[in-house]
């Protein structure tokens, strides 16, 4: 599974490669991973930043005067970064986990959404 991740926008890498690249970055530029609970708190903070942008860009709230619009892609990448850090430090292979998740959702939801009256008025 490819995701766009890295310095060049045209550069794609596998999730497994992204996990390895983050691990290499932590080893080169960081002391170590933050502990799991700290990373969970950071993930929550990053999701909050995404929620702020979403509510102001697509929702009914507006940006405050002097408040600059943030980069949606950057906020999503921050979330992915921390999520992959948590996966690395807990030994989760996200490529495998995502494939299993696709299988689960396909088995569970293959007809569910097609038959949802709320989605198909």
Domains of the chain, residue spans: 13-95
The single-letter DSSP state of residue 59 is S
Give the up-direction half-sphere exposure of residue 4: CA atoms within 13 A in the CB hemisphere: 7
Residue 21 has pLDDT above 60, yes or no: yes
Third-level CATH fold of 13-95: Helix Hairpins (1.10.287)
The gap between the terminal CA atoms of the chain, to the nearest Å, is 33
Both tokens of 13, joined, read 């890498």
Percent of the chain with pLDDT over 70: 92
Under the banding of pLDDT at 50, 70 and 90, the label for residue 5 is very low
**Residue range 53-95, pLDDT digits in tens:** 999 999 999 988 887 778 999 999 999 999 999 999 999 999 9
96 is written with which tokens? 């495998």
């Amino acid at each position: 599974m490819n995701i766009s991740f890295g310095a060049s926008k045209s550069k794609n890498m596998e999730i497994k490669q992204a996990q390895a690249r983050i691990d290499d970055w932590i080893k080169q530029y960081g002391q170590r991973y933050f502990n799991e609970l700290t990373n969970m708190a950071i993930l929550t903070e990053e999701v909050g930043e995404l929620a702020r942008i979403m509510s102001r860009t697509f929702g009914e709230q507006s940006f405050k005067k002097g408040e600059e619009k943030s980069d949606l892609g950057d906020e999503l990448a921050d979330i992915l970064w921390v999520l992959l850090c948590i996966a690395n430090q807990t030994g989760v292979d996200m490529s495998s986990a995502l494939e299993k998740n696709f299988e689960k959702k396909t088995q569970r939801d293959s007809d569910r959404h097609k038959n949802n009256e709320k989605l198909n008025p």
